[in-house]
Amino acid sequence: MAFFCFSHRTASGVKLQHISLECQMTHSTIYTPPPPTDDPFDDASFHTGIYGNILMPLAQFRSIETLIIDVMCKVQLTDGNLSSLVSAWPHLRTFSLNNMHGWTNFDITQVGLLRMLECCPSLETLCIAINTNAFTQVPLDRPGRGVQNTNI
pLDDT, tens digit, 9 for 90 and up, residues 59-107: 888 899 999 988 888 888 899 999 999 999 999 999 999 888 888 778 8
Position 37 in a domain: no
Position 91 in a domain: yes
Indicate whether this model's pTM tops 0.85.
Answer: no
Locate all alpha helices (DSSP H) within the chain, ordered by sequence: 2-9, 52-55, 79-86, 110-119
Q: How far apart are CA 75 and CA 20, in angstroms?
A: 16
Indicate the burial class of 146 (C-beta count within 10 angstroms; 0-12, 13-18, 19 or more).
Answer: exposed
Position 34 in a domain: no
For 15-41, what is each residue's pLDDT tens digit?
777 777 776 554 444 444 455 555 544
**Do 107 and 136 touch, CB atoms closer than 8 A?**
no
Number of domains present in the structure of the chain = 1
Position 65 in a domain: yes
Q: Which domain holds residue 97?
A: 17-22+42-133
